[in-house]
Amino acid sequence: MTLTDELSAIVGAAFADEGLDPAFGLVKASDRPDLAQFQCNGALAAAKGRSENPRALASKISDRLKATGRFAKVETAGPGFINLDLADAVLAARLDALAADERAGGWRRPNPEKIVIDYGGPNVAKPLHVGHLRAAIIGEALKRLMRFVGDEVISDIHLGDWGLPMGQLITELKRERPDLPFFDPDRTGSYPQHPVVSLEDLERLYPKAAAACKADPAKAEEARLATAELQEGRPGYLALWRQFVAVSRAAIEREYADLGVSFDWWKGEADADPLVPEMARAMRANGIVRESDGAEIVDVARDGDKKEIPPLILFKSDGSVLYGTTDLATILDRKRLVDPDRILYVVDQRQSLHFEQVFRAAGKAGIFEENRLEHLGFGTMNGKDGKPFKTREGGVLKLRDLIDMVERRARERLAESGFIEGFSEAEAEDVAHKVGVAALKFADLSNPRTSDYVFDLDRFMAFEGKTGPYLLYAVVRVRSVEAKAKDAGAGEAGPIIIATPEERDLALSLLAFGDAVRASYEKRMPHHLCDHAFRLAQSFSKFYAACRIADEGEARIRASRLTLAAAVAAQLDQALSILGLSAPQRM
């Protein structure tokens, strides 16, 4: 139970004792923390239901709450709001439990599920760019969050490895190096194992191929044919395609690893391909497929739709499959493999229509319950001009270059601030990497997932304010406080005693973790957790400025403060690890 759950139960019981629905007892953190810690507004609605004066009802409830002895303050305010402050002893007892909890007070889901989360979605042979950043960062954070609350989570990168770009690459390479054995239709032996293309080749070939197909219909037709032959299993093309995928994957893996992003499955669109015929048969048998100009389509529009939802195209008139077909077959594949309760897709908001069509078709076909498929869309990272972020030259920024740029900037900032003075080169590099990645990730995660945001490296990189570097710095500082106390022989940690306003504020921040985890989880919005981590770091900073720790004279208070510091360290670690940030040992 989170703290507000527990309070809601107490206040709900008071409503029940007045013969009212306990649901009226819903408690939340106060909108006016300067006036009270928590509030309950239920008396207003409850009084309306039985035409009672809301203030009078609120004051009856308040009397019952006072009698529980758990509150330092119970106040009726305005037309019938109830303002609450918890008694310090209650806060202290809750904190003792939190300090002993290995999950640092995080909420746990009562009914965990098995979840497949699809994020990343890079495409073979195309360099990763900033557009892939958000999918990776948000997907990784949600995966970790879901595991933290108890779900069984399987992450799948869902590589784009099976469409027309593959045929375009094959034909482009064929024009450059027609003698490669992969192109010989009469070959019977095996094909070279060692890759005949490098990553640089692929990154050069793909734009060239795409441009050639755009400019020349004959080349486009060749590419279409090669795609079809590949998908029908022409051995030379398949062998070559495997090389494209392997070379690309190695590079993608490196870049994601740099960002602390990893996947359980490295499946791709190609893996779903064998399931397409079966999926289509099931859909036809269901009677939901109809023919339209030679194509096979599924109507997914419904009465009451606010905008037009066009039919999903299962097969084009030439029999080829589209993005939607592949996604439907992938759902079937996942169902066969792990039978998940739910599938989540962390993909650009701009693909929402696609997912709407796929989810409706899956539901209609009985492949997967529609409301157990969720598209978790995200906004774009824009430049200062408000348009999707570009390089100074106007091109798409490669992820690799972005990471390099952020690390370089971190290194400069750290040096300017004297944070890496006397560090070895290896340690300085490690700290710069961690700070740079934290700056980038936190800046992304701290915005509501669905919003756009502006890339502003100087703001992301500041050591003050709501930034990744500030949080890493906070973690390092709490740890150094603990280390100093140990060196000074400050003794053991002990039970919590709350005496000062700063300790009370820190207690409330620590105890809000459960609600923050829950809100982040239920809304699939990591920014609630970012807000929490920032609030906690700030509370600690005020506490540290106002209260002695290692050199506090009174042993009981010193022991309590050591417990507080340890709880902050543990909870910040936990929060940062869910967000995918890693703190250096020192800086």
Site for ligand ARG in 464-493 (CB under 6 A): none
Listed residue (508, 511, 516) closest to 532, CA to CA? 516
Q: Minimum CB separation from ligand ARG for residue 443, in Å?
A: 22
Residues 419 and 428 sit within 8 Å (Cβ to Cβ): no
Q: Minimum CB separation from ligand ARG for residue 346, in Å?
A: 8
Q: Minimum CB separation from ligand ARG for residue 158, in Å?
A: 5
Rounded to whole angstroms, the Cα distance separating 334 from 245 reads 21
Nearer CB in complex with ligand ARG: 263/345: 345
Residues 446 and 527 sit within 8 Å (Cβ to Cβ): yes
Nearer CB in complex with ligand ARG: 117/220: 117
Note the helical H segments in 177-234. Answer: 199-215, 217-232
Q: Is 345 in the site for ligand ARG (CB under 6 A)?
A: yes
Q: Minimum CB separation from ligand ARG for residue 340, in Å?
A: 14
Site for ligand ARG in 99-118 (CB under 6 A): 118
> How many residues sit in the footprint of ligand ARG (CB under 6 A)?
8
Residues 528 and 446 sit within 8 Å (Cβ to Cβ): no
Nearer CB in complex with ligand ARG: 251/557: 251
Q: Minimum CB separation from ligand ARG for residue 269, in Å?
A: 8
Q: Minimum CB separation from ligand ARG for residue 362, in Å?
A: 12
Cβ within 8 Å of residue 27, ≥6 positions away: 4, 7, 8, 11, 38, 39, 40, 84
Site for ligand ARG in 367-396 (CB under 6 A): none
Tell me which of 85, 271, 327, 503 binds ligand ARG, using CB under 6 A: 327
Q: Is 121 in the site for ligand ARG (CB under 6 A)?
A: yes
Q: Is 161 in the site for ligand ARG (CB under 6 A)?
A: no
End-to-end CA distance of the chain: 36
The structure tokens listed for 376 are: 């978790």
Give the DSSP per-residue string, 404-431.
HHHHHHHHHHHHHTTTTTT--HHHHHHH
Rounded to whole angstroms, the Cα distance separating 317 from 314 reads 10
Rounded to whole angstroms, the Cα distance separating 255 from 451 reads 25
Nearer CB in complex with ligand ARG: 105/122: 122
Report the half-sphere exposure of 17 (CA within 13 A, side-chain side): 16
Nearer CB in complex with ligand ARG: 183/265: 265
Residues 40 and 29 sit within 8 Å (Cβ to Cβ): no
Q: Is 356 in the site for ligand ARG (CB under 6 A)?
A: no
Q: Is 256 in the site for ligand ARG (CB under 6 A)?
A: no
Q: Minimum CB separation from ligand ARG for residue 469, in Å?
A: 31
Nearer CB in complex with ligand ARG: 4/227: 227
Tell me which of 160, 436, 514, 526 binds ligand ARG, using CB under 6 A: 160
Q: Is 347 in the site for ligand ARG (CB under 6 A)?
A: yes
Tell me which of 37, 83, 123, 571 binds ligand ARG, using CB under 6 A: 123
The structure tokens listed for 118 are: 């699809």
Nearer CB in complex with ligand ARG: 205/373: 373
The structure tokens listed for 271 are: 């893996």
Q: Minimum CB separation from ligand ARG for residue 262, in Å?
A: 17
**DSSP E strand stretches across 78-129:** 81-86, 114-119
What residues make contact with ligand ARG under the rule CB under 6 A? Answer: 118, 121, 123, 158, 160, 327, 345, 347
